[in-house]
Structure 1
Amino acid sequence: MRQRLTALAVFTLGVALLSAQHSFAEDGPLVYQGDSGIGSGKHLVFLAGDHEYRSEEALPALARILAKRHGFKCTVLFNLDPKTGFILPGNSHMPHTEVIDSADLLVFGLRFQNFPAPQMQPIVDYLKRGGPVVGVRTSTHAFKIPTDSPFAKYDFQYKGAEMKGGFGRQVLGETWAGHYGKNHVMSTRLEIVPENADHPILRGVKDLWVQAGGYWTDPEANCVVLANAQPLQGMAHDSPPAKDKQPCPGAWVRTYQSESGTAGRVFTTTYCASEDILNDGFRRLMINGCLWALGSEDNITDDLNVEFVGPYDPSTFSFEGHRKNVKPLDLSGWDSPIMPRREDATEDK
């Protein structure tokens, strides 16, 4: 009898563990649903999956602003540990990309991803239909894909003439070209290009300073540069320019030609680390960039509300620096902290 009870207990425990694993896999994506405003009826999808710059913090904070302040529906997808459901940046596992099918804008915060086909295909389909795109920081090298993959042409080093430089070069306007300023030693001032100062994305934007170090860029010829990035010799907004480092493009717009024949609008910046969006001017640049990419530039005003919604407590960006034991739904609601610290996050059972 005791053996039968023991076997039953083991079976019950096994079922419970399988159910727990199933529930992790089936947890819904993080959605911020706005009530009303200029974004009513529009769906924005954010892809947070880089290893270093804490897109899993910056993107949900921006999504929450766009939803609460302006009425958009914003879905944020993350790299997740398939066994636990915890956010695990950079692991090429991003459930729920099928929601992209209904997206009106796709915001990329990826680095060196190689998604399985079911997760990658909705991204490819979106680009084939020419959907508008916003790309930040490491998204110039969003994908690192083997040459034998059906998605190889999206790789940041792709050599083929039909998509040389992959997603970064052919959609965002630039692929990975190298650092141009040392992180945590050299911050960056973004200087508005005078001849483009009247662009809608720049309405109300001033005092652009970010904490991330520079990237070197030489964007495609059809890019309209909105701001040049000047590396600074220090981590203060008034630090002097770094010696021997001239400005290079740090934010631009363009269009890409899709396979469907539709030209999709693109806003790209090589910044947007977790601490960058603490700067009011840069945060406004990001919100304005999303609206412009959507074709909603008439709704961009100098005083558009870009204030944070709920607590925003960013990590100092670094490799392996993400906050542990956090699930996407820990960020749900308007008042949950982004990002919860270990003692506030879901316990790892």
Structure 2
Amino acid sequence: MRNFIYVLLGVFFLSIAPLANAQKKTKKPLIVFVCGDHEYSGEQTLPLLANFLEKEYGFETKILKSFPDQNAEKNIPGLEILKDADLAVFFLRWRLLPADQITPIEAYLTSGKPIMGFRTSTHSFNYPKGDPLESYNGFAERAFGAPPGWGGIAQHTHYGHNASTDVRIIPEKAKHPILTGVSPDFHVRSWLYRVLPDYPKKGTEWLLMGKAVNPDKVAVDQPVAWTWENEYKGKVFFTTMGHPEDFSVEPFQRLIVNAIHWELGKEVPKKWKGNLNINVPYRGMVNSK
């Protein structure tokens, strides 16, 4: 009788093993979008991008937002889910998160998992001098190879709100997977960010250059998208683009979708399933209601 039970148990475990393996293989990658910027409506554009990724490519996504609105600098609920994320995407600006919310961000960064950032994430945090978390103002340098905050020694700034940017693929990088199907040149509303001469950090791979249109000062062409491997061995994609109107531009949409696949170690789609219907007007800085 005992042998018979052992046989049944053996058959049972053999029968469920393929199912368990199949479930493991079919687990959807989880992309966590962390939104908190005063100006560029990332809390509106990124959910539309996330819906497209779920519908067309089978990813699982989670949107985290500053609460109660984009101007709330001290609270982004739900950051503990980062421990389960396969990719974290940041669109932050001058947050003052408490230490218990910085902890899961730091744990994700140092885990070596892939990480992506948009525009004002160069100055994700803005802790005052002497604050225990003041060093976190340099998050972007460690995470993305970007300038460590706004202004400062890096003189990170832009070429005026009335400017926009002509973008072109760097010819030598045209065959990079992230640039698959991306137009060799296109135009975005983002006013060009100045990151040179000291950033992006040494070792980054520049993919796209931007030229300021109607700048408010003498302008120098700047890299607007790059990849990197940070010190924690995490794959990085960063872009200084991210104005809400940029998300309506098809080459920009494809660039981001390609970069997400690349960061997750998946084949970049050869067939484009866009154009995405993302039409979020520029809000700028507005007071909370």
TM-score, L = length of structure 2: 0.82
- Aligned to 1:59, which of 2, 23, 46? 46
- Aligned to 2:238, which of 258, 262, 268? 268
Counterpart Cα distance in 2 of 1:249 and 1:301: 24
Q: Deviations over 1:258-311 (max 9, x none)?
A: 2xxxx0000000011211110000111111111112222xx2134232332xx6
Identity of aligned residues (%): 34
Counterpart Cα distance in 2 of 1:132 and 1:108: 11
Q: Deviations over 1:36-92 (max 9, x none)?
A: xx99520000011011111111211211111111001100010112xxxxx333522
The answer to whether the 8 Å contact 1:274/1:314 transfers is yes
Superposed, 1:175-324 pairs within 5 Å as 175=147, 176=150, 177-183=155-161, 185-206=162-183, 207-218=185-196, 219-233=200-214, 244-258=218-232, 263-296=233-266, 299-308=267-276, 312-320=278-286
- Aligned to 1:91, which of 59, 73, 97? 73
1:126 aligns with 2:108: yes
The answer to whether the 8 Å contact 2:247/2:278 transfers is no
The answer to whether the 8 Å contact 1:58/1:273 transfers is no
Relative to structure 1, the CA distance from residue 39 to residue 64 in structure 2 (aligned partners, 3 Å threshold; closer, same or farther) is farther
Superposed, 1:7-18 pairs within 5 Å as none
Counterpart Cα distance in 2 of 1:88 and 1:119: 16
1:144 aligns with 2:126: yes
Segments of 5+ residues of structure 2 without an aligned counterpart are 1-24
Deviation at 1:180, TM superposition (A): 2.9
Structural RMSD (CA): 2.2
The answer to whether the 8 Å contact 1:58/1:272 transfers is no
Relative to structure 1, the CA distance from residue 242 to residue 265 in structure 2 (aligned partners, 3 Å threshold; closer, same or farther) is same
Q: Deviations over 1:231-272 (max 9, x none)?
A: 112xxxxxxx888423111100001122xxxx0000000011
TM-score, L = length of structure 1: 0.68
Counterpart Cα distance in 2 of 1:256 and 1:39: 29
The residue type paired with residue 276 of structure 1 is D
Question: How many residues matched?
Answer: 255
Q: Aligned residue for 1:77?
A: 64
Counterpart Cα distance in 1 of 2:260 and 2:79: 19
Counterpart Cα distance in 2 of 1:59 and 1:52: 14
Counterpart Cα distance in 1 of 2:282 and 2:84: 34
Deviation at 1:191, TM superposition (A): 1.0
The residue type paired with residue 170 of structure 1 is R
Q: Aligned residue for 2:140?
A: 168
1:102 aligns with 2:84: yes
State the secondary structure of the residue aligned to 1:286.
Answer: helix
